[in-house]
């Protein structure tokens, strides 16, 4: 497998995730009063950090 082969798709997806990180709370979750916003920010970060670290350690990005 060619090292860092997923770098470009990963970078594009990262930009999408970061954009969602800003857009979703101000568009979809603006009126939510429960734990939705807390969970959205926490889980988005946790999931993307996990994916990033897995790809990094396996030399795919």
Partner 1 sequence: MSDLLLAFSLMLVAYVSLGSLIAYLSRRYGVKSSKDYFVSGYRLGWFLASMTYAATTYSAFMMVGLVGLTYFSGVGALGFELAYLLVTVVILAVLGPTVWAMARERGWVSPSEMLSDLYGSRAIGYVVVGIYLVAMIPYVTAQMVGVAAIFESLGAGYEAGIVVMSALTLVWTVLAGMWSVATTDAYQGIWMLSAAAALIFSLLYNVVPSSGTTVNQVMSVLSEKGFLSITSFWALPTFLAYTIPWVFFAATNPQVVVRLYVHKDMGSYKKSVVLFSAYGFIYTIAVVCVGLLARGLTELGLFGFVSKQDSVTPTLISRLHPVLASFIYVSILAAAVSTADSIILTVASSFVRDLIEKRGVSGVSVFKLSNTVVALLTIASAYLAYLRLGFVVDLSVLTSVLLLPLAPVTIAAWLAPHESRGRVQRGAALLSLLVGASTAFGFALTLGPRRTFLTSYYGLPVSALILIITSITTLAGYVIPKLVRPKT
**Which of 5/11 has CB closer to partner 1?**
11
Distance CA 42, CA 46 (A): 6
Site of interaction with partner 1 (CB under 8 A)? 7, 10-11, 14, 17-18, 21-22, 25-26, 29-35, 37-38, 41-42, 44-46, 48-49, 52-53, 55-57, 61
Q: Is 4 left (phi over 0), alpha (psi -120 to 50) or beta?
A: left
Q: State in angstroms the smallest separation of the CB of 31 from partner 1.
A: 7
Distance CA 59, CA 28 (A): 35
Q: State in angstroms the smallest separation of the CB of 2 from partner 1.
A: 15
């Amino acid at each position: 497998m060619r090292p860092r082969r997923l770098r470009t798709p990963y970078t594009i997806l990262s930009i999408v995730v970061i954009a969602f990180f800003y857009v979703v709370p101000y568009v979809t979750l603006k009126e939510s009063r429960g734990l939705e916003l807390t969970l959205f920010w926490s889980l988005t970060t946790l999931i993307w950090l996990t994916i990033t670290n897995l790809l990094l350690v396996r030399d795919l990005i």
